[in-house]
Amino acid sequence: MIPLPAEATSSRMLFPNADVVVNPVLLLLLGLIVGTLGGFFGVGGGFLITGGLLVFGVPPIFAVGTGLTLIMGSSIINMLKHRGLGNVDFKLGIIMVCGTVPAVFFAERLNSTLEAAGLAGPVIRYVYVTVLFLLGAFLIYDYIKTRRRAGSAAPSGENVSTAQLTRRVQAMRIPPHSIWLPGLGVRSTYIALPVSGIERISVFVPFLVGVGIGFFAGLLGAGGGFILMPVLVFVVGIPTTVAIGTDLFQVIITGSFGTFVYAVGDQVDPLMAIIILAAASAGSQIGATATRFVDPGRIRILYGITVLSGCAAVALEQVASTSEGLEFLGDIAAFVLLGVSGTMGLVIAGLLVRALLRRSAASH
């Protein structure tokens, strides 16, 4: 048996693979939050899972590997729920996966090289902070801009500030315009995506999106979902609810492949993954159901706020780990991450309950 470190107490557990002591209650709370937000925002929860594990002191390479494992499990649960709601475009998801899988492998090789050089921790944290800040700031900017256009009322439906960009992306003509396939003959490289409401788009657009998402997934251990959903909405022009469901389908493949790659390198802590996933399965039902009743514009602004909280938490943890006398910032980081995300989970549950009460009142 591996002896517990001296600082361990009865309320903390040793996770031997990652060689770290963490309070399991924090992991359960993280799982419940991840499940709720994952079902609502259509992400595997990687920006919360990996960011949360980093904040809890898990070594970066294990935070990435374990994060991908959790993303796979929680995404399967959430995707099945969204499939029942008709929010999954499997055709779009499969095309993206063709670009995602090789990109994940390349990013994992890069991560291993950085780990060997002792740079994995700073690089992962700095990239996380930058990407999360830019993404969260843009989502809030989009909400404010579309609200101003709509007047005093909150934006509704699929109104986004990048509507002109999405039209250009869908109209892109990328050669070759046709290819020969064994047994099928010459086929056009332009397809229709009826579930996503797109009549014609080059197959290379979602393929290249998959390549970019796969690279971030492998590098950051986030499944790529926290970036993919906004890209599908603001760049490709996919309806928010369909982007949520399709994002989860793509993340399952990314998480499965990424989990295999990191597991082979013994960079996954299975005990930690089981604890978090058990709680995530409960929260996912709340989040996925809420998307049926909450306006897409409101989903995006809530997502932006959540992303910024993850950015702040990882930034504080980085400062705490590199500066003497500022270790207390690590505790503040944990409070920010779980506090804001937990509050967001309560907001989502509240919106669902209010919508159900209104629906019940209207039916009487």
pLDDT in tens, 125-141: 788 788 889 989 998 98
How far is 35 from 53, CA to CA, in rounded Å?
15
78 found inside a domain: yes
| CA–CA distance, 211 with 98 (Å, rounded to integer) | 8
Please indicate, yes or no, if residue 338 is contained in any of the structural domains.
Answer: yes
In a domain, 187, yes or no: yes
What number is the average pLDDT over the span 352-356? 87
Backbone angles phi, psi at 327, to 5 degrees: -60, -25
Closest C-alpha among 256, 260, 253 to residue 97: 253
Mean pLDDT of the chain: 81
pLDDT tens sequence across 249-264: 887 776 676 667 777 7
For residue 330, being part of any structural domain is answered with yes
Asked if the structure places residue 355 within a domain, the reply is: yes
What pLDDT is attached to residue 222? 57
Q: Decide if 65 contacts 265 (C-beta within 8 A).
A: yes
Maximum CA pair distance of the chain?
A: 68
Average pLDDT over residues 237-242: 90
**Residue 127, domain extent:** 17-362
Q: For the residues 212-235, what does the mean pLDDT come to?
A: 79
Number of structural domains (the chain) is 1
**Residue 8 predicted with pLDDT over 50:** no
Give the pLDDT of residue 169: 94
Q: What span, in angstroms and rounded, lies between the C-alpha atoms of 219 and 270?
A: 20
pLDDT above 60 (res 157): no
Query: How far is 363 from 164, CA to CA, in rounded Å?
Result: 40
* Residue 6 is assigned to a structural domain of this protein: no
Residue 4 lies in a domain: no
Residue with the larger pLDDT of the pair 30 and 11: 30
Within a domain: residue 7? no
Q: Decide which of 301 and 223 is more confident.
A: 301
Confidence of residue 202 (pLDDT cuts 50, 70, 90): very high
**What band does 58 get if pLDDT is binned at 50, 70 and 90?**
confident
Q: Is the pLDDT of residue 40 over 70?
A: yes
